[in-house]
């Protein structure tokens, strides 16, 4: 049995190396001068910060960083609020049309987003929302996935708790604010991270919608830097690293909730 | 009362406010220019910035903003902006690369994003001064939308030192046959090839196709790459690039440009490389280690065809519909592209030959270049320039190029497996079917 | 468990107000576009401004277009490859990590999951550099492992034959850890008593797996299978960035959504983009229904 255990650990270690090596290479590569990026593999003989300074001076990278931050954070705020509210309504109330709403939500899961790309763009054009952040944020302010998640976790809240609140004279919204939300914090944390990640990394829709360079998000900016004629790998790698750090940091902070939230939909079923 | 949503959303909210405020502050500092000019080429950008003060002196009350923008995806974005009613970043004047020009010529003529300059050109006699062949890529339904920037003759850049070491002389490599023979002699798989030809990308292949007088399209926008010239070109080219075959004399890396190519040239991985005039400057800038050791020679010739050059690339200048002061824009365009004295100066900065033959008499074109061992490359390019072949484009340029490339790849695969037997029939059939695919797309377009 | 919900006295308008934002946004930004897409598919457009009715020509062209066939072939190949390779790997890793005697599980879990955080765009950019011939990391490893120095010049992304393997490898790197999380959670829910009982009965490891573990985690397997398939069919950003904003040599990396983007949006033809979108949607619906039927019904939600 010892052999099996050693083999198992061996596999896990190998897997870990495979998982980490690209990131390690990335980090090291950003500290090599542009013309020496490929001269070494896992060492940095003449570390330099030139790539980072180039990144923020030749390209308005800080602007892109701010754009992505603004969009992702605002999306989280909007989606957390509206989805948790709707999830609460669907979890703890019975009202006319509830079945209809649930049915519609189920139906949307089946529809791939790419189907509505073209007509959505056309609609936003008619609303004069092309190339605006409102155009990006408003359609995505509520997330069906989020509503499902919140509903799932809120169903488990004991009704007695809510009744007690009502007896104390709490309004329905007050119930939401004072009773339901605090209890749902783990799920909120998980969903925040998921939404942040999805918005931060999103490419296709912003690419179609945004026409002004100064409004670009990080994925669009990076895709542009993959130019045909001038490949400044050092700077490109630096940009990639800066772009992925925020999500990694956020994940490290919210690990536990994230895993719990992710599996809630799949497992507890 | 604690924030009920928890720490993560609280952080998000804080960041939203912080970034929102920062972004709001940024937007306020946008300066208003009378003329916004975009270019995608660093070379052009540097040259124009140098020339700008002279133009400003003549127009002191106007603010002119020359910007360098990323070339990747630029045409699509601009066209999307045009199609969405000029929303977003739309400049007043813009340089567009030849292979992308077709992007803007879809849809009804009235909605093309650039101003129709046909009548203006005729009125000022400019259609006579500029080499006629250079207008064709920027013409749509008989109307001209772009002012051509260049003529882009092509030569081969070679490594003088390596040539001497290996006993090669440009005088002995004036035909493709002799070039290929030399290529077989100096070939060392994995270490050295006489030139860079790609077996999957079509840049060098197109250069050869044009040298032979062929092309992807004809003057009327019909697909022509499956004609006799196209077939002959492919049959000639495929054995030269098929990896690990006896006939191979050329190879390629992941990119023809950038650090990868610089390293390859310095390592003598490629002894020569296809070099249009714009690239002659790039070599000087990027391949420092070979300073003084490079030279330029005309393209070897094909039997029965005296043409020693081809063309690769091109830029047009277009005035967009967003432009309010069209007079100013037109003056600026002429200033950048057509003033004789400025052209000579521009040439010294960019090494790019203007499409205006009467300007080539200027002394600037006789300068000797240290990087090229004292060679007068300007004069050499100018001598070849009148012989540059015509190049016709279309909105379906990208598609046609892609499909032509597919035939190349399929042909190389076939040759690697079966050798020359049956190659002709295979390639002819592949060309026809791919060309028909492009024709179907053209037929589908209702505009 | 707790008795079914009790219903409000005076809950009144509250639930309606709470779901109102969702319903409103949904009607405007989901329902309307879906209806509109059905209309758009019968037009060809030059941007949102110029529409020209073409009847069924979009679909006719689509169905005979060799590029679309290539896109479908690529996408299906990719989907099958990822499902067949990824899921066993994810499950295997999850099983390994669930071993009682193992320490540092959280650390391993974090490490395996981290590639997923980067997102398809940034992974694409990074791996495009790693797959460089001669200078890229992957080739250094490849030449070393196969002990053949000539392999260092392998043009992963420049050779049509190796583009799909490169894509699948990259996607494995990104998603094995992600799906592993689901399996880990599922494995935690397996009833230990059943395992004990089977052990007492003398069942071997494999038999125990088949009889106890597998049925317990089957709903999660279904879930992962369906989501992986759906996700794979919609693949766009990873190959697009990996291949430098192109579909690769000979369209080796062309996926259905990439085809939609290049033939629809890149030329401003929203009508054609809608036609492709509908074809994809119908295809995905058929496949997901088939999957659900084959895996024996649904325990969803």
Predicted confidence at residue A268, as pLDDT, reads 47
Predicted confidence at residue A164, as pLDDT, reads 85
First CA to last CA distance, chain A: 36
Is it the case that residue A211 has pLDDT exceeding 80?
yes
Write the pLDDT tens digit of every residue in B174-204: 999 999 999 999 999 888 999 999 988 899 9
Residue B367 falls inside a structural domain: yes
Fold of C57-294: MetI-like fold (1.10.3720)
Is it the case that residue A266 has pLDDT exceeding 70?
no
How far from chain centre, in Å, is Cα C247?
18
Please give the structure tokens belonging to residue C6.
């009790």
**Given CB atoms, is B176 within the 8 Å cutoff of chain C?**
no
**Given CB atoms, is C88 within the 8 Å cutoff of chain A?**
no
* % of chain B at pLDDT higher than 90: 53
Please give the structure tokens belonging to residue C126.
């990074």
What are the backbone dihedrals phi and psi of residue B155, each rounded to the nearest 5 degrees, phi first?
A: -130, 180
State the best of C1, C2, C7, C19 to mutate against chain A, taking most chain A CBs within 10 Å: C19
* CB spacing of B42 vs A230 below 8 angstroms: yes
For A14, B70, C23, C254, the CA distances from A256, given in Å and listed in that order, are 25, 41, 32, 37
State the best of B196, B444, B445, B447 to mutate against chain C, taking most chain C CBs within 10 Å: B444
* CB spacing of A125 vs B84 below 8 angstroms: yes
Is it the case that residue B70 has pLDDT exceeding 60?
yes
* CB spacing of A247 vs C118 below 8 angstroms: yes
* Of C291, C268, C249, C280, the residue nearest C87 (C-alpha): C291
Which residue in chain A is spatially nearest to B257 when comparing CA positions? A229
- Name residue B39's beta-bridge partners: B68
Which residue in chain A is spatially nearest to C111 when comparing CA positions? A16
Which of chain A's residues have a Cβ under 8 Å away from the Cβ of C25?
A: 138-139, 141-142
- Measured CA to CA, the distance from residue C234 to residue C120 in angstroms comes to 12
Which residue matches tokens 């005309």?
B298
CB C72 within 8 A of CB C260: no
Predicted confidence at residue B31, as pLDDT, reads 66
Residue B7 falls inside a structural domain: no
Which of chain C's residues have a Cβ under 8 Å away from the Cβ of B79?
A: 47, 268
Predicted confidence at residue C187, as pLDDT, reads 86
Q: Where are the alpha helices (DSSP H) in A202-232?
A: 204-209, 218-225
DSSP string, C187-207: HHTS-HHHHHHHHHTT--HHH
Is it the case that residue C2 has pLDDT exceeding 70?
no
From the CA of B241, how many Å to the nearest CA of chain C? 13
- What's the rounded mean pLDDT across residues A143-160? 87
* CB spacing of C36 vs A248 below 8 angstroms: no
For the CA atoms of chain C, what is the radius of gyration?
Answer: 24
Is it the case that residue C19 has pLDDT exceeding 60?
yes
* CB spacing of B26 vs A193 below 8 angstroms: no
For the CA atoms of chain B, what is the radius of gyration?
Answer: 24
Which residue in chain C is spatially nearest to A241 when comparing CA positions? C122
**Given CB atoms, is A108 within the 8 Å cutoff of chain C?**
yes
Is it the case that residue C25 has pLDDT exceeding 60?
yes
What CATH architecture does domain A59-268 belong to? Orthogonal Bundle (1.10)
- Measured CA to CA, the distance from residue B96 to residue B140 in angstroms comes to 15
pLDDT bracket for residue B30 (50, 70, 90): low
Largest CA-CA distance found in chain A, in angstroms, rounded: 72
Mark whether B141 and B273 lie in a shared domain: no
Which residue matches tokens 């109307």?
B143
Predicted confidence at residue C300, as pLDDT, reads 45
Neighbours of B143 (CB within 10 A): 15
* CB spacing of C33 vs A233 below 8 angstroms: no
- Nearest-by-Cβ selection for B446 from C44, C157, C249: C44
Q: Where are the domains of chain A?
A: 59-268
Predicted confidence at residue C1, as pLDDT, reads 44
**Given CB atoms, is A200 within the 8 Å cutoff of chain C?**
yes
Chain C residues 186-245 with a CB less than 8 Å from chain B: 245
* CB spacing of B6 vs A188 below 8 angstroms: yes
Residue B13 falls inside a structural domain: no
Neighbours of C174 (CB within 10 A): 21
The helix (run of H) or strand (run of E) holding residue C57 is: helix C57-64
Please give the structure tokens belonging to residue C105.
């599980």
Which residue in chain C is spatially nearest to B411 when comparing CA positions? C250
- Measured CA to CA, the distance from residue C92 to residue C217 in angstroms comes to 13
Which of chain A's residues have a Cβ under 8 Å away from the Cβ of B278?
A: none
CB B158 within 8 A of CB B294: yes
Is it the case that residue C41 has pLDDT exceeding 60?
yes
Which of chain B's residues have a Cβ under 8 Å away from the Cβ of C47?
A: 79-80, 82-84, 107, 111
Write the pLDDT tens digit of every residue in B115-173: 999 999 999 988 888 888 788 888 888 899 999 999 999 999 999 999 999 999 999 99
For A188, A251, A254, B37, B50, the CA distances from A257, given in Å and listed in that order, are 8, 10, 6, 50, 57
ipTM of the complex: 0.88
* CB spacing of A227 vs B87 below 8 angstroms: no
SS3 A231: coil
Predicted confidence at residue A16, as pLDDT, reads 93
State the best of B1, B8, B29, B42 to mutate against chain A, taking most chain A CBs within 10 Å: B8
Predicted confidence at residue C299, as pLDDT, reads 46
Residue B3 falls inside a structural domain: no
**Given CB atoms, is C7 within the 8 Å cutoff of chain A?**
yes
Is it the case that residue A49 has pLDDT exceeding 50?
yes
**Given CB atoms, is B73 within the 8 Å cutoff of chain C?**
yes
* CB spacing of C48 vs B253 below 8 angstroms: no
Round the average pLDDT of chain C to a whole number and report it.
86
- Measured CA to CA, the distance from residue B311 to residue B313 in angstroms comes to 7
Which residue in chain C is spatially nearest to A204 when comparing CA positions? C237
**Given CB atoms, is B6 within the 8 Å cutoff of chain A?**
yes
CB B83 within 8 A of CB C49: yes
Q: Where are the alpha helices (DSSP H) in B139-271?
A: 160-166, 176-186, 203-211, 228-241, 258-266
SS3 B31: coil
pLDDT bracket for residue C11 (50, 70, 90): low
Predicted confidence at residue C191, as pLDDT, reads 72
Counting every residue written for chain C, the total comes to 301
Domain of residue B119, residue span: 35-148+312-373
Please give the structure tokens belonging to residue C176.
């094995």
Is it the case that residue A201 has pLDDT exceeding 60?
yes
* CB spacing of B23 vs A70 below 8 angstroms: yes
* CB spacing of C249 vs B409 below 8 angstroms: yes
Which residue in chain B is spatially nearest to C64 when comparing CA positions? B437
* CB spacing of A80 vs B9 below 8 angstroms: yes
* CB spacing of B5 vs A188 below 8 angstroms: yes
- What's the rounded mean pLDDT across residues C287-301? 70
**Given CB atoms, is C162 within the 8 Å cutoff of chain B?**
no
Which residue in chain B is spatially nearest to A69 when comparing CA positions? B19
* CB spacing of A214 vs B26 below 8 angstroms: yes
Is it the case that residue C301 has pLDDT exceeding 60?
no
Please give the structure tokens belonging to residue B150.
């260049």
Is it the case that residue A83 has pLDDT exceeding 60?
yes
Which of chain C's residues have a Cβ under 8 Å away from the Cβ of A77?
A: none
Mark whether B351 and B435 lie in a shared domain: no
List strands edge to edge, sheet with B154-159.
B250-251, B193-196, B270-276, B154-159, B294-298
Predicted confidence at residue A227, as pLDDT, reads 62
- What's the rounded mean pLDDT across residues B400-429? 93
SS3 B178: helix
**Given CB atoms, is C282 within the 8 Å cutoff of chain A?**
no
- Measured CA to CA, the distance from residue C301 to residue A219 in angstroms comes to 33
Write the pLDDT tens digit of every residue in B343-393: 888 888 888 899 988 888 888 899 999 999 999 999 999 999 988 888 887
By CB atoms closer than 10 A (0-12, 13-18, 19+), residue B228 is exposed
Mark whether B83 and B141 lie in a shared domain: yes
Mark whether B307 and B434 lie in a shared domain: yes
* Of B36, B16, B32, the residue nearest B24 (C-alpha): B16
Is it the case that residue A189 has pLDDT exceeding 80?
yes
Round the average pLDDT of chain B to a whole number and report it.
89
Residue B68 falls inside a structural domain: yes
pLDDT bracket for residue A269 (50, 70, 90): very low
Mark whether B212 and B346 lie in a shared domain: no
Neighbours of chain B (3+ CB pairs under 8 A): A, C
- Measured CA to CA, the distance from residue A59 to residue A64 in angstroms comes to 9
Mark whether B124 and B226 lie in a shared domain: no
Mark whether B143 and B189 lie in a shared domain: no
Q: Where are the domains of chain C?
A: 57-294
Mark whether B305 and B317 lie in a shared domain: no
From the CA of C230, how many Å to the nearest CA of chain A? 9
Predicted confidence at residue C10, as pLDDT, reads 46
Dihedral sign from CA coordinates of B282, B288, B291, B297: negative
For A227, B19, B155, B379, B387, the CA distances from B280, given in Å and listed in that order, are 20, 45, 9, 13, 19
Tell me the pairing of strands B193-196 and B270-276: parallel
For A122, B439, C88, the CA distances from C59, given in Å and listed in that order, are 20, 17, 38
- Measured CA to CA, the distance from residue C208 to residue B382 in angstroms comes to 82
From the CA of A199, how many Å to the nearest CA of chain B? 13
Please give the structure tokens belonging to residue B183.
């290529």
**Given CB atoms, is C142 within the 8 Å cutoff of chain A?**
no
Query: What number of C-beta contacts closer than 8 Å exist between A and B?
Result: 120
- What's the rounded mean pLDDT across residues A247-254? 89
Count of structural domains within chain B: 2
- Measured CA to CA, the distance from residue B353 to residue B54 in angstroms comes to 21
* Of C232, C226, C295, the residue nearest C82 (C-alpha): C232
* CB spacing of A226 vs C128 below 8 angstroms: yes
The helix (run of H) or strand (run of E) holding residue B271 is: strand B270-276
Mark whether B298 and B317 lie in a shared domain: no
**Given CB atoms, is A236 within the 8 Å cutoff of chain B?**
no
Chain B residues 242-301 with a CB less than 8 Å from chain C: 252-254, 260, 263
Mark whether B144 and B93 lie in a shared domain: yes
| Strands, E assignment, B85-221 | 93-97, 139-140, 143-144, 147-148, 154-159, 193-196
Q: Is the pTM of this model over 0.90?
A: no
**Given CB atoms, is B3 within the 8 Å cutoff of chain A?**
no
From the CA of A158, how many Å to the nearest CA of chain B? 18
Residue B257 falls inside a structural domain: yes
Which of chain B's residues have a Cβ under 8 Å away from the Cβ of C65?
A: 437, 440
């Amino acid at each position: 049995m010892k052999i099996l255990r050693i083999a198992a650990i061996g596999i896990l270690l190998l897997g870990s190396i495979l998982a980490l090596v690209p990131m390690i290479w990335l980090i090291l590569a950003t500290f090599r001068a542009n013309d020496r990026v490929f001269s070494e593999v896992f060492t940095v003989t003449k570390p330099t910060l030139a790539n980072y300074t180039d990144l923020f001076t030749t390209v308005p990278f800080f602007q892109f960083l701010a754009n992505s931050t603004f969009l992702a954070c605002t999306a989280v705020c909007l989606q957390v609020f509206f989805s948790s509210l709707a999830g609460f309504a669907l979890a703890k109330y019975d009202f006319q049309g509830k079945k209809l709403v649930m049915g519609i939500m189920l139906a949307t899961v089946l529809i791939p987003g790419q189907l509505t790309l073209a007509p959505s763009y056309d609609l936003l054009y008619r609303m004069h929302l092309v190339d605006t952040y409102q155009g990006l944020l408003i359609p995505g302010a509520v997330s069906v996935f989020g509503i499902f998640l919140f509903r799932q976790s809120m169903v488990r809240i004991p009704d007695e708790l809510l009744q007690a609140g009502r007896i104390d004279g709490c309004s329905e919204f007050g119930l939401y604010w004072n009773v339901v939300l605090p209890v749902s914090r783990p799920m909120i944390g998980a969903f925040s991270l998921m939404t942040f990640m999805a918005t931060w990394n999103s490419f296709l829709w912003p690419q179609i919608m945004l026409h002004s360079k100064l409004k670009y998000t990080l994925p669009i900016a990076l895709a542009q830097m993959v130019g045909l004629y001038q490949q400044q790998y050092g700077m490109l790698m630096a940009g990639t690293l800066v772009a992925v750090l925020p999500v990694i940091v956020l994940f490290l902070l919210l690990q536990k909730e994230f895993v719990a939230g992710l599996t809630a939909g799949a497992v507890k079923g | 009362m604690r924030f009920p949503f928890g720490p993560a959303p609280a952080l998000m909210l804080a960041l939203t406010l912080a970034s929102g405020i920062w972004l709001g502050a940024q937007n306020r500092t946008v300066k208003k220019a009378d003329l916004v000019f975009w270019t995608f080429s660093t070379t052009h950008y540097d040259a124009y910035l140098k020339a700008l003060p002279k133009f400003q002196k003549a127009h002191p009350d106007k603010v002119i903003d020359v910007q360098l923008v990323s070339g990747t995806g630029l045409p699509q974005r601009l066209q999307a902006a045009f199609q969405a009613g000029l929303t977003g970043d739309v400049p007043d004047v813009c340089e567009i690369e030849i292979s992308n020009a077709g992007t803007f010529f879809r849809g009804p003529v009235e909605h093309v994003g650039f101003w129709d300059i046909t009548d203006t050109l005729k009125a000022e006699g400019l259609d006579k001064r500029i080499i006629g062949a250079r207008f064709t890529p920027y013409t749509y339904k008989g109307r001209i939308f772009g002012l051509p920037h260049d003529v882009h003759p092509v030569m081969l850049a070679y490594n003088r030192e390596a040539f001497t070491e290996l006993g090669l002389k440009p005088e002995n490599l004036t035909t493709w046959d002799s070039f290929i023979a030399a290529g077989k002699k100096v070939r060392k798989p994995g270490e050295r090839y006489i030139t860079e030809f790609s077996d999957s990308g079509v840049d060098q292949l197109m250069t050869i196709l044009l040298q032979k007088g062929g092309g992807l399209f004809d003057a009327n926008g019909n697909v022509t790459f499956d004609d006799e010239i196209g077939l002959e070109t492919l049959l000639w080219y495929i054995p030269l690039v098929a990896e690990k075959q006896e006939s191979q004399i050329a190879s390629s890396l992941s990119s023809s440009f950038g650090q990868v190519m610089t390293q390859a040239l310095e390592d003598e991985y490629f002894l020569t490389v296809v070099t249009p005039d714009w690239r002659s400057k790039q070599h000087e800038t990027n391949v420092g280690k070979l300073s003084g050791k490079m030279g330029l020679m005309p393209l070897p010739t094909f039997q029965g065809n005296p043409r020693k050059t081809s063309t690769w690339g091109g830029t047009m200048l277009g005035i967009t519909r967003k432009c309010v002061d069209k007079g100013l824009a037109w003056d600026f365009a002429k200033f950048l592209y057509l003033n004789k004295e400025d052209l000579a100066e521009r040439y010294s900065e960019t090494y790019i030959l203007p499409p205006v033959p009467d300007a080539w008499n200027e002394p600037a074109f006789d300068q000797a270049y240290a990087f090229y061992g004292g060679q007068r490359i300007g004069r050499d390019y100018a001598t070849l320039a009148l012989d540059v072949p015509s190049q016709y484009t279309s909105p379906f340029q990208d598609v046609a190029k892609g499909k032509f490339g597919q035939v190349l790849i399929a042909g190389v695969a076939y040759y690697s497996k079966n050798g020359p037997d049956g190659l002709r029939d295979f390639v002819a059939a592949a060309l026809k079917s791919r060309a028909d695919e492009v024709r179907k797309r053209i037929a589908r377009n209702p505009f | 468990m707790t008795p079914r919900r009790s219903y409000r006295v005076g809950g009144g308008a509250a639930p309606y107000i709470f779901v109102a934002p969702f319903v409103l946004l949904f009607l405007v930004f989901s329902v309307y576009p879906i209806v509109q897409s059905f209309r758009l598919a019968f037009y060809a457009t030059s941007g949102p401004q110029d529409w020209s009715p073409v009847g069924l020509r979009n679909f006719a062209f689509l169905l005979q277009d060799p590029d679309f066939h290539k896109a479908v072939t690529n996408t299906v190949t990719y989907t099958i490859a990822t499902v067949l390779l990824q899921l066993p790997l994810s499950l295997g890793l999850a099983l390994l990590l669930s071993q009682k005697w193992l320490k540092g599980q959280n650390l391993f879990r974090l490490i395996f999951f981290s590639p997923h955080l980067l997102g398809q765009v940034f992974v694409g950019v990074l791996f495009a550099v790693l797959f460089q011939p001669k200078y890229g990391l992957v080739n250094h490893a490849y030449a070393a492992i196969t002990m053949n120095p000539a392999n260092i010049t392998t043009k992963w992304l420049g050779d049509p034959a190796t583009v799909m393997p490169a894509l699948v490898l990259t996607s494995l790197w990104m998603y094995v850890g992600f799906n592993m999380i689901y399996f880990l959670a599922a494995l935690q829910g397996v009833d230990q008593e059943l395992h004990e009982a089977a052990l007492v009965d003398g069942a071997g490891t494999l038999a125990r797996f088949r009889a106890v573990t597998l049925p317990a985690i089957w709903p999660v397997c279904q879930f992962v299978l369906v989501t992986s398939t759906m996700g794979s069919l919609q693949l766009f950003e990873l190959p697009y960035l990996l291949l430098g904003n192109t579909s690769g040599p000979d369209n080796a990396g062309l996926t259905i959504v990439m085809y939609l983007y290049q033939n629809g949006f890149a030329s401003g033809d929203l009508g054609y983009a809608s036609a492709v979108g509908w074809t994809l949607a119908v295809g995905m619906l058929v496949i997901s229904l088939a999957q659900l039927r084959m895996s024996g019904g649904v325990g969803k939600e």
